[in-house]
Amino acid sequence: GPSLIMVLTRWNAIAEWRRLIGTVDPEEARLLSPESIRARFGINILKNAVHGASNTLEASEAISRVFGDDENPENN
């Protein structure tokens, strides 16, 4: 289906995004953070509605794969 790809640039962006999306398992997210994206829209652990990098290296690699090196905030 349709996808929205974002590059978040702010201090502590990865930790803040992961807090907003909730744990990988939507069932667990419904218990621990019921207002999170995965709690609200995730179906199961494979169809959990959203992805977020776990660390800056993973984020940089994903940004480079999707947008090329020119768009990677680490390079600017």
Q: Tell me if 1 is assigned to some domain.
A: no
- The burial of 24, by beta-carbon neighbours within 10 Å (0-12 exposed, 13-18 middle, 19 or more buried), is given as middle
Point out the residues that are catalytic: 51
Is the pLDDT score of 72 beyond 60? no
CB 22 within 8 A of CB 29: yes
Q: Tell me if 3 is assigned to some domain.
A: no
pLDDT one-digit tens code per residue, 42-63: 999 999 999 999 999 999 999 9
Could you give the 3-state DSSP secondary structure of residue 73?
helix
Q: State both tokens at 55.
A: 């660390």
Q: Which CATH number goes with the domain that contains 38?
A: 3.30.70.141
Q: Which domain holds residue 18?
A: 13-67
Is the pLDDT score of 76 beyond 70? no
In this prediction, residues 21-31 reach a mean pLDDT of 97
CB 41 within 8 A of CB 20: no
